[in-house]
């Protein structure tokens, strides 16, 4: 009887075990436009700094790029393959960085 109680618990615990997928410390996927070294393309987009946010052609940015205004909620995770474009209160591009 006691074994019947423990069997479902073992199944539940086995389901929680990592299978070696993306969340287990394996290689993370690259955004298109990122380099093979895992860095984002921020260095190629430094010419955007100081320009109006409205003039930024978002379709020319690498996929996965975040355009962040002062009130934009964002996750705190750091991803070296993701580009972030920060917009200041006046609507100008403040900085372009990886993360």
pLDDT reported for residue 88: 98
What span, in angstroms and rounded, lies between the C-alpha atoms of 6 and 17? 17
pLDDT reported for residue 16: 55
The single-letter DSSP state of residue 75 is -
Residue 82 contacts residue 99 (beta carbons within 8 Å):
yes
Q: What is the pLDDT of residues 11-43, one digit of tens each?
A: 555 555 544 433 334 344 444 444 445 789 999
What span, in angstroms and rounded, lies between the C-alpha atoms of 92 and 29? 30
Domain boundaries, the chain: 32-99
Q: How many CB atoms lie within 10 A of CB 58?
A: 9
Which CA distances in Å does 73 have to 50, 56, 67? Answer: 22, 20, 11
Sheet holding 66-68, edge to edge: 66-68, 83-87, 93-98
Looking at 31-40, 42-51, 70-79, which range is the least confident one? 31-40
Which residues make Cβ contacts (< 8 Å) with residue 15, sequence separation at least 6? none
Report the topology of domain 32-99. Answer: Trypsin Inhibitor V; Chain A (3.30.10)
pLDDT reported for residue 27: 40
* Token pair for 4: 């019947």
């Amino acid at each position: 009887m006691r074994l019947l109680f423990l069997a479902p618990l073992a199944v539940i615990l086995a389901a929680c075990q990592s299978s070696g997928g993306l969340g287990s410390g394996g290689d993370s996927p690259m955004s298109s436009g990122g380099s093979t070294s895992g860095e984002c393309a921020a260095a190629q987009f430094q010419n955007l700094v100081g320009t109006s946010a409205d003039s930024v052609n978002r379709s020319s940015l690498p996929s996965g790029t975040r355009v962040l205004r002062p009130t934009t909620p964002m996750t705190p995770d750091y991803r070296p393959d993701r580009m972030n474009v920060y917009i200041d209160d006046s609507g100008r591009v403040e900085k372009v960085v990886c993360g």
